[in-house]
Structure 1
Amino acid sequence: MLNPANKVTLARIIAVPFLVLLLHFPSKPLNAVAMIVFILVALTDLADGIIARRWNFVSNLGKFLDPLADKLLISSVLIMLVSLGWVQAWMAIVIIARELTVTGLRAIAADQGHVIAADSFGKFKAVIQVVALCPLILHYPWWGIDPQPIGLLLLYLALILTVISGTKYIYQFFRQINRE
């Protein structure tokens, strides 16, 4: 059950509280460390998928833990950024609501024997979310450049992609359910 791919995913989940702790004490050096940790943790999402597919470690536990780890990572960072006043709450709510909605619909579909697989659009949305959160985590000006406007612009793009992706999942869910 705890194959190498699942161990990488669990490491991602375990890293989230450390990231939250770093963001709880905002300062230029700790935010830089937080961004590096965030990037490394986000990259483990690629690693566990590659390990699982290449060496046939795909498991039901992994199928459950991988999206959970993704949602914990993104949601935790968004909530911390809202608590610091660096991101507006409504933005975090839209993103987190989409993630919870899609997760719920996937669970219902799976219970009925259907699979709503992640598509390339949803994966692109996830990448843009990670890229948007990096400058927002940095927050403080570096070498005369304020990363906040860049991060917010990218977060608006991520929001648009989040809504479109969520709408696609909802459409796929009802299309598959109505086929029966």
Structure 2
Amino acid sequence: MSVELKGLKDLAKNSKELQKKLNKTIRRSTKAAALKLLADAVELAPVYQGQIDENGELLKDEEGNVVKTHTGGKLKGSGTVVLNNKTVVAESDENGNINAAKSNSSSARDMESVSFFDVGFNTTYAEKQHDHEEYRHIDGQADYLMQPMRELKSTFEEQIIKDAKKTMEKETRKNRTNN
């Protein structure tokens, strides 16, 4: 004896399509959140001019006195958003503008799955400037990446969930209409 259940093939097909659309929605929402985080972090990052060398140490003259002016720091221009640990999606320039990366091709496999984005700064002294709250900055501050992340985390989560629900509702209505 056999039983044939009608609609299982359509259900499986619709489930795969829904998963692809949900992945795309979540990836788009997560990318928007990463770009917003980078923009806020760049705004809070210490200014271009400072008194530090490439390792984050105070610059001193031959007598050991701290150098008063130096134009070596480029922290605001070193922000990046990276997809799946390999593809640069956006970069900040030294004026603090966020720009799409010049080469922004992702593999088909990257685009099929839900992606994650790393937001950070790629100078050798970025971490030191971020972590040392005792440093005095002319403009900007320490904790320039984590502060906006803490402030925006729940907003990002809510928006991603809202976008995913909207996609599911849209696809559910579409499937009901087609059946």
Same fold (TM over 0.5): no
Highest CA radius of gyration, 1 or 2? 2
Q: TM-score, normalised by structure 1?
A: 0.29
- Structure having the higher helix fraction is 1
Relative contact order higher in (CA < 8 Å, ≥ 6 apart)? 2
- Structure having the higher strand fraction is 2
Q: TM-score, normalised by structure 2?
A: 0.30
